[in-house]
Structure 1
Amino acid sequence: MTASAFFSLPSHRETWRLAWPIIISNSSVPLLGAVDTAVVGHLPEPHYIGAVAIGALIFSFLYWGFGFLRMGTTGFVAQASGEGDATEVRSVLARALIISAVIAAGVLIIQPVVLWLALLMIDGSSLVEGGAADYFYVRIWGAPAVLANYALMGFFIGIRNTKAALTVQIFMNGLNIILDLIFVIGFGWDVIGVAAATAISETLALILGLFLVRRELLRLGGVWQRSAILSLAKMTRLLAVNFDIFIRTILLIFAFAYFTAQAAKEGDVTLAAVAVLMNFIHFMAFGLDGFAFAAEGMIGTAIGAKRPDKLREIVYVTGFWALIVACLYALVYLIFGPAIIDLLTGIDEVRARATEFLPWLIFMPLVAIWSYQIDGIFIGAVQSKEMRNGMIISFIAYMAAMHIFGELWGTQGLWGALVVFFVVRAVTLAVVYPRVERRARA
């Protein structure tokens, strides 16, 4: 294929149409975190900041573990949409919402246990832990809305309407910021005010999301069929896919947590430097996730429509643009990396240590891009077993590399192990990629 023919492919425009709302949506998240920190940072005691930080960390890990509700929904919705089966699109959404409601109910019932386990792993002062508990017991009531919103986000991405996902995210974060200011600065509710602002915003965002879903369902057509929604075979299939993705996600969470734990053994300065540089990986994810999410919806639709030619076009086009953005991240980190470090910390020792590790972060986008992108392909194809097995192999390779490289090169070796993790994740799925094309031809 010539360059002019490649750039004339229609998937270029579709890729950017789907990717840019996700990129902007993701970029609004750190703004919210900054406002949360700022409002409690102006309270008279420092333990308020620690309480909110720990409380937010608990929910980050809790909700990240349930991310399968979005990923599992996206692929099934996209494939049903590609087949033109609007009734099945409705049924997939209903099943995902049922599962999210059951999980949310379970979390609410065992909330004291969840908090106890979380605080058991965090060594904070009594004031910080008490504030974190106050935060937790208020914000936890937003859990049903958060988990339902995961299903709605999966639906929107599956039908390739990422603008709706952006609308919900921006509304939620914007409202959260406003309520933060009212509850904390206006009413003086300190930590409880931050938690209440978040829970209320999450709940109202769900209401907006349901309104947008209703509008899309009217456009798509189809009907609600109880027998289709409660189909044992299809519900079992959705649960199996979600369980595979859950295992994959838990291993991913543990991999990054273990990285931080190993860095902590090298001392407070090294730990702080690693914490600063982890922001570089989070920033990178904002851009790369956009193209992975675009691939999810487009790949699923192509498979549902039985279009292997279209599927391959989407793989090439989304991969091309994701690589371009990854190169831009590497260039930005190369030129502005030291300045970014200086913005994130004013401690000279931490700045110097972080600068030692900076070459790894410059290189990281060029490696990580492939694991992000191929994850999107397999989510759209609903090839969850391959994702689960690939993650298990990658995790084993990562842990081995952490041990070997850590012994040989200390903290530098830990970054090398993280590179191995990204590479093996991509390779294990690339090897079985032909199964995705066979699925589209079946």
Structure 2
Amino acid sequence: MTDVLDETGAPLPQTRRGWHRRVAAIAGPIILSNASVPLVGTVDTAVMGRLPDPAYIGAVAVAALVFSYIHWSFAFLKMGTTGLAAQAFGAGRPDALRDVLGRALLLGLGFGLLVVLLQLPIEHLALPLVGASEQVTAFAGRYVAIRIWSTPAVLMTYAVIGWLLAVQNARAVFALQLLLNGLNVALNLAFVFGLGMDIDGVALASVIAEYAALAFGLWLIARELRRLPGRFHLGRLAERDKLVALLKVNLDLFVRTLCLVTGFAVFTAKSAQMDDVTLAGNAILQNLLQIVANGLDGFAHAAEVLVGGALGARSLAAFRSAISVSAQQAAVLALLLSLALWALGPALVALYTDIPAVQAAAGRYLPWMVLLPLFAVGAYQIDGVFIGATATAEMRNAMIAALLLYLAVLHLLLPRWGNDGLWLSLLAYMLLRIACMARYYPRLVRSVGAAGSAA
């Protein structure tokens, strides 16, 4: 049986303590890099929160919803790349590693250009569906018209990040995210406070930062590829069976991610239909949720990488260790995040806005955010396991079921309890995701065991 290898070519540890160190070594840099991701949304919201009209905060939330659909609908370019490339890495197949990268970059470029071509239908059809006020919709439209030009860079960067994670170069991902988000924040502040721009400056900052990040990411990839034997072959990139397999994985992940984003989109849309102050307060809390999600994603990504490597090497023992150790460490982080939100939540809300009504609205529903890390951690971890295993059909089916059940819960709770019902439904959504995925887990374990026995 082939050993599961780390990025140096050495076997992964065989002891429990060794596995804890290995998971922490992968998750640590990813958590640090992910910590800068919500910083952009935080600064966007905080900068708009210093302007006199709460409609600016709402506009950022509505525009972010549009780009959640656009960008995260293509998140398979990162998730699918990580799973397939991690399996190639674990099996010691450098040619397959190159092929996965090449196909993902080409798909990212093609889909990104398609979105740019469809910008007018997206802007004129998507924003009215949210149901926000006329002023919020107008501000959001200005943002979307500028930000959409960054889509090719965003989607190709997904492929770059997914591949770097698969080869366990988390430090390169950290550097890439630091450049992307640090430059975005700096330009944000310069354009809005230095040049007197408003929502246009926030959007332009993102476009510039995302193309700079793509250029840096491609340089990081080129440096990594110099360490691998072989070279790209255009003929291999176009092999029909490999393209069909990639498209199948990506189509499953597309449907799964579309369902996931729809769940959060419904949350934002229902917030927008209440009033601008409630929308702004919920937007601040959702931004805190993004901070939580990006922290917990570090261990989910560790599970993706190590599960993919274990499957590539057909090692059931490594598969089980990757799951259990990453889940334990993620649970500890979730508890710490909940305690931090409980202790620091009001102060964090005050950093976002100085509008008293918005501060009061966010503070009123802050207890729901304190609970969310404890409910969400299992959903993120089980996603990481199935992504690493490229068990995408199961993910698709589970997310469709979870979304339908979530919408039913929301239909029952929202009319009775208003915004409290909206937040309670979101907690239920996290648990429903875990339950619907868990029913496929025994089958996944059996398939790994069968593969290991046949090796």
Indicate the TM-score class for this superposition, using the shorter chain for normalisation: 0.7 to 0.9
Aligned 1:239-250 pairs, distance under 5 A = 239-250=247-258
Residue matched to 1:233: 241
Q: Tell me, in whole angstroms, the C-alpha distance in 1 between the residues paired with 2:269 and 2:382.
A: 28
Residue 292 of structure 2: which of 266, 284, 287 is its match? Answer: 284
Q: Tell me, in whole angstroms, the C-alpha distance in 2 between the residues paired with 1:100 and 1:80.
A: 20
Residue 148 of structure 1: which of 156, 160, 181 is its match? Answer: 156
For 1:318, give the aligned amino acid: S
Residue 72 of structure 2 corresponds to residue 61 of structure 1: no
Residue matched to 2:305: 297
Q: Offset of 1:189 from its aligned partner?
A: 6.2
Q: Tell me, in whole angstroms, the C-alpha distance in 1 between the residues paired with 2:201 and 2:339.
A: 40
Select between 83-92 and 166-175 the one with higher mean Cα deviation: 166-175
Unaligned runs of 5+ in 2: 1-12
Residue 217 of structure 2 corresponds to residue 209 of structure 1: yes
Instruction: Specify the SS of the correspondent of 1:220.
Output: coil
Q: Offset of 1:79 from its aligned partner?
A: 0.3
Change over 3 Å in CA distance of 1:165–1:349 after alignment to 2: same
| TM-score of the superposed pair, with normalisation by structure 2 | 0.85
Deviations 1:37-85 (A, max 9, x none): 6667788999877766655553343212221111111100000111100
Change over 3 Å in CA distance of 1:332–1:131 after alignment to 2: closer
Residue matched to 2:335: 327
Q: Tell me, in whole angstroms, the C-alpha distance in 2 between the residues paired with 1:131 and 1:219.
A: 47
Select between 410-419 and 178-187 the one with higher mean Cα deviation: 178-187
For 2:97, give the aligned amino acid: V
Residue 91 of structure 2: which of 62, 83, 88 is its match? Answer: 83
Please say if residues 331 and 362 of structure 1, whose CA atoms lie closer than 8 Å, have aligned partners that are also in contact.
yes
Q: Tell me, in whole angstroms, the C-alpha distance in 1 between the residues paired with 2:138 and 2:352.
A: 28
| TM-score of the superposed pair, with normalisation by structure 1 | 0.88
Select between 57-66 and 97-106 the one with higher mean Cα deviation: 57-66
Deviations 1:191-229 (A, max 9, x none): 554434322221121111111111112213233223321
Select between 366-375 and 268-277 the one with higher mean Cα deviation: 268-277
Aligned 1:88-237 pairs, distance under 5 A = 88-121=96-129, 132-180=140-188, 191-237=199-245
Give identity over the alignment, percent.
Answer: 44
Q: Tell me, in whole angstroms, the C-alpha distance in 1 between the residues paired with 2:20 and 2:227.
A: 25
For 2:375, give the aligned amino acid: V
User: How large is the Cα RMSD of the aligned pairs?
Assistant: 3.1
Select between 347-356 and 282-291 the one with higher mean Cα deviation: 347-356
Q: Offset of 1:256 from its aligned partner?
A: 1.6
For 1:242, give the aligned amino acid: N
Instruction: Specify the SS of the correspondent of 2:421.
Output: helix
Q: Tell me, in whole angstroms, the C-alpha distance in 2 between the residues paired with 1:189 and 1:267.
A: 26
Please say if residues 293 and 376 of structure 1, whose CA atoms lie closer than 8 Å, have aligned partners that are also in contact.
yes
Residue matched to 2:9: none
Residue 420 of structure 2 corresponds to residue 417 of structure 1: no
Residue matched to 1:312: 320
Change over 3 Å in CA distance of 1:347–1:39 after alignment to 2: closer
Q: Offset of 1:284 from its aligned partner?
A: 1.4
Residue 391 of structure 2 corresponds to residue 383 of structure 1: yes
Q: Tell me, in whole angstroms, the C-alpha distance in 1 between the residues paired with 2:193 and 2:357.
A: 34
Deviations 1:138-184 (A, max 9, x none): 43332211111000111011111111111111112223344445555
Q: Offset of 1:100 from its aligned partner?
A: 1.1
Residue 19 of structure 2 corresponds to residue 11 of structure 1: yes
Q: Tell me, in whole angstroms, the C-alpha distance in 2 between the residues paired with 1:32 and 1:216.
A: 28
Matched residues, number: 438
Please say if residues 85 and 222 of structure 1, whose CA atoms lie closer than 8 Å, have aligned partners that are also in contact.
no
Change over 3 Å in CA distance of 1:51–1:378 after alignment to 2: closer
Residue matched to 2:435: 427
Please say if residues 73 and 154 of structure 1, whose CA atoms lie closer than 8 Å, have aligned partners that are also in contact.
yes
Unaligned runs of 5+ in 1: none
